Amino acid sequence: MVVKKKTLIIVCIIIAVGAIFGTIATVKYVQQLNAEREKIVQKERFDRAVDREYKQLVREYESIVETINDYSYSWSFRYKYVKKLNELLVAEVYPINYDSEFYTVSDCIDSLRHNKNRDLEILKSKAAFNAFFGD
């Protein structure tokens, strides 16, 4: 069997062009795959940072709530902790009655029993914000 020179050149050109396009396609696929992996790694890092921040905020929250619920402390001391709790939650979630420390603390104690899940959601949002903006 004899192969013509012209046919051999055409086949070689087709193989070379196919190899070039195959290499380019493979490189782009690998780059896309690496970019997706990097996004996954960044999301996992962010999630871990949010979890760390959230755990720290929950510990602080529980410490403040424990102090507010401890009747061995004075009303004025626990009143300051109600203010501290509002600062932690970044809003006046528990109303401050400036005329009476007693009512402020007792209202807060009553509300704490029913609103823990809401408070934890607020802390989760704050943790995500802090982790994203590095606060």
Q: Which candidate, 56, 124, 114, 55, places its Cα nearest to that of 89?
A: 124
> With a threshold of 0.85, does the pTM exceed it?
no
pLDDT above 90 for 81: yes
Q: Of the candidates 49, 62, 46, which has an alpha carbon nearest to the alpha carbon of residue 119?
A: 62
Give me the helices (H) in the chain, please. 5-69, 75-88, 101-114, 116-133
**Which is nearest to 60 in space by CA: 134, 119, 132?**
119
**Residue pointed to by tokens 């051999």:** 8
pLDDT band at 113 (very low <50, low <70, confident <90, very high): confident
Task: Tell me what pLDDT residue 1 has.
Answer: 72
| Residue 122 pLDDT > 90 | yes
32-41 average pLDDT score:
96
